[in-house]
Amino acid sequence: MRLLVVEDDLEIQDFLRRGLTEAGYEVDAAADAASGENLALEGIHDALIIDLGLPDRDGLELIARCRAQGSQAPVLILSARRSVDERVRGLEQGGDDYLTKPFALAELLARLRNLLRRSSPAQQESARLRVADLELDLVRREAHRGKRELQLTSQEFALLEYLCRNAGRVVTRTMILDHVWRMRFDPATNVVDVHIYRLRSKVDHEAKQPLIQTIRGVGYVLKTS
């Protein structure tokens, strides 16, 4: 799931970026309406989080322009404007939900999940990944192996999602660090191995058919045989 945050307060933008990334979302961010519009119109985001008080243009105008140009991603308005009139206006002018600042990250995440769940069934279907009897629900952030629900941390979920998206292809440690942690680590770090170890103990625990396989000296692959 990929999100776009348009917020000019860089402290809040950074807070959102970190919080959402930790919750397993991919996050793009913009600090003004013009660059936000350019990103939104790429059509690659599952939801948009838009502040109203932007330096170059009002957030409501940004939402209207995106809608007019065909963007269908649900919009969560995040604003310091608290009056009922402002909130109603936001919802009438294309916002799907409205959260006032200051906000709790937990509430924002809950509202976001609702928005993503409500968006089209087709999108919900594409929000599932399946490999053999392993199934990931990317909206609910739930993973099942057969009937067993896997209790994964958000990092483990992100790692498993990455392996599933590349099922049958070998991914190297560097690729995993790049995509899942989005950081440069000392290449000697064992963070990937440690997470794979934990993930394997959950995914392949007592399974007849282990899915996570090690390719010695190269990396890992998720496959059925």
Q: Of the two residues 28 and 51, which places its CB atom closer to Ca ion in the complex? A: 51
Torsion-angle region of 171 (φ positive above 0: left; ψ -120 to 50: alpha; else: beta): beta
Shortest Cβ 51–Ca ion spacing (Å)? 5
Q: What is the largest CA-CA distance in the chain?
A: 61
Residue 137 dihedral angles phi and psi, to the nearest 5°: -100, 110
Interface residues for Ca ion in 41-70 (CB under 5 A)?
51, 53
Shortest Cβ 177–Ca ion spacing (Å)? 33
Q: Of the two residues 53 and 146, which places its CB atom closer to Ca ion in the complex? A: 53
Determine the interface stretch with Ca ion among 2-10, 68-76, 106-114, 172-180 (rule: CB under 5 A). 2-10
- For 172, the 3-state DSSP assignment is strand
Q: Of the two residues 94 and 219, which places its CB atom closer to Ca ion in the complex? A: 94
**Number of amino acids touching Ca ion (CB under 5 A):** 3
Q: Of the two residues 8 and 86, which places its CB atom closer to Ca ion in the complex? A: 8
Torsion-angle region of 141 (φ positive above 0: left; ψ -120 to 50: alpha; else: beta): left
Determine the interface stretch with Ca ion among 5-13, 133-141, 154-162, 163-171 (rule: CB under 5 A). 5-13
Nearest to 6 by CA among 76, 69, 68: 76
Return the exposure string of 137-153: e unless at least 16 CB atoms fall within 10 Å of the residue's CB, then b: ebbebebebeeeebebe
Determine the interface stretch with Ca ion among 4-12, 20-28, 172-180, 210-218 (rule: CB under 5 A). 4-12
Distance CA 152, CA 207 (A): 17
Q: Of the two residues 60 and 212, which places its CB atom closer to Ca ion in the complex? A: 60
Interface residues for Ca ion in 8-37 (CB under 5 A)?
8
Q: Are strands 171-172 and 148-150 parallel, antiparallel or unpaired?
A: unpaired
Is 133 an interacting residue with respect to Ca ion (CB under 5 A)? no
Shortest Cβ 94–Ca ion spacing (Å)? 18
The residue ranges that bind Ca ion (CB under 5 A) are: 8, 51, 53
